Amino acid sequence: MSGETDPRTPEEAASAAAERARARVSAGGYADAGRLDALGAQERAGLSRLQEWAPIEIEPEIARSTRRLGAPITRFKRFLLRMLLQYHNEEQAQITRFNVHLLGYVAQLEGRVAELEDRLARGERAPRE
């Protein structure tokens, strides 16, 4: 900080930070700031990922014992699953129905937003619905 007066109060420090940042950027410093600003702008799981997740299908093989010599427990768990198959099918169907309907709604909205953004970029008015 040679040639600069050190701020003594928080108010002076806030102004000094902004001034020094401007000066350093003008002198070619912080060259990476723009790249960093843009990093990670979009992280949300996209529609294609949601489409993969939407139908709920759980393989019965996921039910297993993690204990040593747990094979009989694994067999028992899978037996119980077979006995409850009707219930679990209904449960999976209900969750899947909700997921895919929601997904369809989101996809529709996404298309609509894209269309409106496109119209906006071309300077057109959006149609009223």
Partner 1 sequence: MTRVLQLLSGAGPYDAITNQALAWQRMLAEDGIGGEVLAAHMDPAVDGAVRRLEGLDDGAGGADLLVVHYSAHAPALDRALALPVRKLLVYHNITPPQYLWEHEPYVAMICALGRERLAGYAARVDAAVAPSAFSAGDLEAAGFADVRVDRRLYLFDRERLRPGAADAERGEGPTILFVGRLSHNKRQDRLVKAFALYQREHAPGARLVLPGSPGSGTYGPYLARLAAEAGARDVELPGGLPQERLNARYAGADAFVCLSEHEGFCIPLLESMHFGLPVIARRAAAVPEVLGDAGVLLDDPDLPTVAEAIDIAVRCAPLREELRARGERRLGDFTPRETHEAVRETVEALL
- Give me the residues that bind partner 1 (CB under 8 A), please: 1, 6-14, 16-18, 20-21, 24-25, 29-30, 32-33, 36-37, 39-40, 43-44
Count of positions (residues) in the chain: 129
List, in sequence order, the alpha helices (H) in the chain.
Answer: 10-26, 33-38, 47-53, 71-83, 85-121
Half-sphere exposure of 126 (CA within 13 A, CB side): 11
Q: What is the SS3 assignment for 38?
A: helix
CB of 16 to partner 1, least distance (A): 6
Q: Which is nearer to partner 1, 13 or 71 (CB)?
A: 13
Q: Quick one: tokens of 9? A: 């109060």
At residue 46's C-alpha, the angle toward residues 42 and 52, to 5°, is 150
Q: Which is nearer to partner 1, 30 or 76 (CB)?
A: 30
Q: Which is nearer to partner 1, 10 or 123 (CB)?
A: 10
Q: Which is nearer to partner 1, 80 or 109 (CB)?
A: 109
92 touches 59 (CB < 8 A): no
CB of 15 to partner 1, least distance (A): 10
CB of 63 to partner 1, least distance (A): 23
CB of 124 to partner 1, least distance (A): 28
